[in-house]
Structure 1
């Protein structure tokens, strides 16, 4: 078996699960599973990564919103990044102007405006159908209020000055689930700059939960040593 290149695998979560719970099929061999502080900003998350890995050669694995601090840390020249494995990366900044991207941003902006004036239920009535493909239901509101509050206060994946050229020269694998135009558009943008793209359908926004994820990531790691 070909020997894997020497590097630390760093797994970076998106919104929701954190730590190893966010990467259930990935083992802990020569790996770290990041858990950002709840409520931390994107700049704070970037600072966490650059402080922890300033003296370590790393392969960042990042899911969804976690791709934003991963790319910004990689572009800072303060981390020796051997490669990026971006799973459904929410790099909305690199795809501005695309209709599905702009629709998503406009809807979230409208929802958060409701939260901003103290109407959390109004926020959830707009946000829930967008993110969970189900309408607001008054009889579930008490049970979902805390979830709505968390989403209303969460970071959004745009406005962070992420640019596709930041990844130039960094070997990148993009894994998407083939279910959402936004992530497929972002993946196509990245492939134009040399990224490899693998589609693993069947798990929606979490293709890292599928059996095919580990072989794809392993094959990418092997290519880094060639």
Structure 2
């Protein structure tokens, strides 16, 4: 039996299947692929962000392998939403739907208040990131993020020896407001946020005004890990799939 493909695109931190613990079971119903973006590898050294390569990773996963129809649904978290949106702009025929979880699509909302405030806070740090050690950048990044959030919401801590690779990868990530984003025409889109941070709510509202469905559920920056968030993702993909199947019949 043919399974629809669902491609999962991680944000910062965990990658591959580890970034989607609640969605593993979707592999029973779908052809689920859990991607690794450019520079994310368990062995190789981290690399600088390349938005175009990331979008290419998503498109390659949607291109098909000769066993079924090309294309599928894309579920992306945080910075992974940039690659998902770029892929959908380039090949909307391959993207059946977009689910953007806490999307870090700051270049779309650069002139809006919460985004502008975030950039004003973080830009000076990114301007000097190549002159800082991984540990110093990580420490300052955490301090600045914590200044804009309550301590309970600041989930990044000082890197332990085991976290040195993650600290280096964080320093090499380009700021999200530099991404060359455009609105995706005609692709059914769900935006899922945790309702905890004005920055992500601002981005979600912008996307809602351009045609997306916006849902909020508790869970901080990872609402996909909650039972409600997981349900919303699954129901959206299933509903879009049924609608598209009915149109094709």
TM-score band by shorter chain is 0.7 to 0.9
Alpha carbons of structure 1 residues 54 and 186: separation in structure 2 relative to 1, 3 Å: same
**How far apart are the structure 2 equivalents of 1:53 and 1:78?**
11
1:6 deviation in Å?
A: 5.5
Task: Name the counterpart of 1:223.
Answer: 239
Alpha carbons of structure 1 residues 64 and 142: separation in structure 2 relative to 1, 3 Å: closer
Q: How big is each residue's C-alpha offset from its partner over 1:78-126, in whole Å with a ceiling of 9 and x where there is no partner?
A: 7511100110001111111112211222222211233233465654453
**How far apart are the structure 2 equivalents of 1:54 and 1:199?**
31
- Do the aligned residues in 2 keep the contact of 1:7 with 1:58 (CA within 8 Å)? yes
**How far apart are the structure 1 equivalents of 2:11 and 2:167?**
17
**How far apart are the structure 2 equivalents of 1:197 and 1:75?**
20
- Do the aligned residues in 2 keep the contact of 1:73 with 1:79 (CA within 8 Å)? no
Whether 1:114 and 2:114 are equivalent positions in the alignment is no
Quote the RMSD (CA, aligned, Å). Answer: 2.4
Alignment of 1:61-210 (within 5 A): 61-77=75-91, 80-118=94-132, 123-132=137-146, 147-164=166-183, 167-201=184-218, 203-210=219-226
Alpha carbons of structure 1 residues 127 and 210: separation in structure 2 relative to 1, 3 Å: same
1:161 deviation in Å?
A: 1.8
Alpha carbons of structure 1 residues 33 and 146: separation in structure 2 relative to 1, 3 Å: closer
Task: Name the counterpart of 1:47.
Answer: 56
* Greater CA drift, 173-182 or 108-117: 108-117
- Do the aligned residues in 1 keep the contact of 2:126 with 2:175 (CA within 8 Å)? no
**How far apart are the structure 2 equivalents of 1:142 and 1:216?**
35
TM-score, with length taken from structure 2: 0.77
Task: Name the counterpart of 2:8.
Answer: 11
- Do the aligned residues in 2 keep the contact of 1:50 with 1:78 (CA within 8 Å)? no
Matched residue of 2:21: which SS? coil
* Number of matched pairs: 214
TM-score, with length taken from structure 1: 0.84
**How far apart are the structure 2 equivalents of 1:50 and 1:146?**
27
Q: How big is each residue's C-alpha offset from its partner over 1:21-66, in whole Å with a ceiling of 9 and x where there is no partner?
A: 1110112232111112422521111122222322422100000000
